[in-house]
Homo-oligomer: A and B are copies of this chain.
């Protein structure tokens, strides 16, 4: 099937699919006219990648996961390791976001939000508040 159809089925933009070919994640066949000709397996692989990306795995992690997926003899421990590492990253990011959120929402609450130039948000950013 052509790239347009593949795009619809995988939910990935055509540009992204071509990019994934560029970096060697997939290697679709080519027709006589030079068009890419995707198999169901290709589509499946793209869906796999799309799912992994949606879970926040990097493209390189997806590459690892695919090769593990295609290796019948791999240990599930390898996969679990990647997932667990990733989970740890997610936890760190969530904590950081939480801290940002708390600070910012406190500042927004304190800010009058009117036409007066006195603004606690800027004061805080400038470090004027020694709290």
Contact = CB atoms under 8 A, between A and B. Distances in A.
Interface of A: 44, 47-48, 51-52, 54-56, 65, 68-69, 72-77, 79-80, 83-84, 86-87, 90-91, 93-94, 97-98, 100-101, 103-105, 107-108, 111-119, 121-122, 124-127
Contact of A83 (B47, B79, B104): B104
A97 B104 contact: no
A31 to B, nearest CB: 27
A130 to B, nearest CB: 13
Contact of A108 (B56, B68, B84, B101): B84
Contact of A80 (B47, B48, B80, B121): B121
